[in-house]
Amino acid sequence: MISKEFKDTRTGEIVTQVPIMEMEYFEEVKRKATAKATPFVLWDTKKKEVYTHLIKIIATGEVVSRWGGETEEELNKENPNLIKMDFIKAYKLMDEENERRHIKAWVEINEEKYFELLEVLPPQKWDRKIGFFQMSEYMTDNITLHVAQIKGRFFCANRRDNVDYSILKEEIKKQFKI
């Protein structure tokens, strides 16, 4: 639906009708145009994740949530586990938490599972020579499932997507005494 003008029969004024989705988009654009980023986020100490980014409204100087426009005080009433934190510190904590949650020991799998993982989606990175590939679906951020074939045995584990396969191969050899 596109915007259209019509005459309000009660007031006689010309009114522009804007669909709700368009209105929400324009309000967001307007708010961002009159706000600037801050180096802060609200960190959820219980879930150990970034709850929201904070922006500063230029006209009023008020610091509010980037997405809902709520003040820090309003958000703290909803969720008392929130603390204001430097953006870089929060993302380092989130990175550590993601590693703690998702990066575990290698697991030996069977050949059928290996080929199922290989064929379910195209691998993002595949080195046929050493028998490694990584899934194109991510657990979070830059952590995805890596799958390996070493000396007729098959393994998988979540790892960061930028780790060199030779390092991962040594991890497996050490863990499984290959």
Sorted by where each begins, the domain ranges of the chain are 4-99, 103-176
Please choose, from the candidates 137, 129, 127, the residue with its C-alpha nearest in 3D space to the C-alpha of residue 163. 127
- Give per-residue pLDDT as tens, 70-86: 999 999 999 999 999 99
Query: Is residue 16 predicted with pLDDT exceeding 70?
Result: no
Q: What is the DSSP letter of 124?
A: S
Reading the block at residue 128, the tokens are 């046929």
pLDDT tens, residue by residue, 40-55: 999 999 999 999 999 8
CB of 146 within 8 A of CB of 157? yes
Pairing status of strand 132-140 against strand 107-109: unpaired
Average pLDDT of the segment spanning 21-33: 52
Q: Residue 35's pLDDT is what?
A: 72
Q: Which range has the top average pLDDT, 36-40, 115-119, 137-141?
A: 115-119
Rounded Cα distance, 85 and 48, in Å: 12
DSSP state for residue 71 in the 8-state scheme: B
- Would you say 112 and 156 are in contact if contact means Cβ atoms under 8 Å apart? no
- Can you tell me the mean pLDDT for 147-164? 96
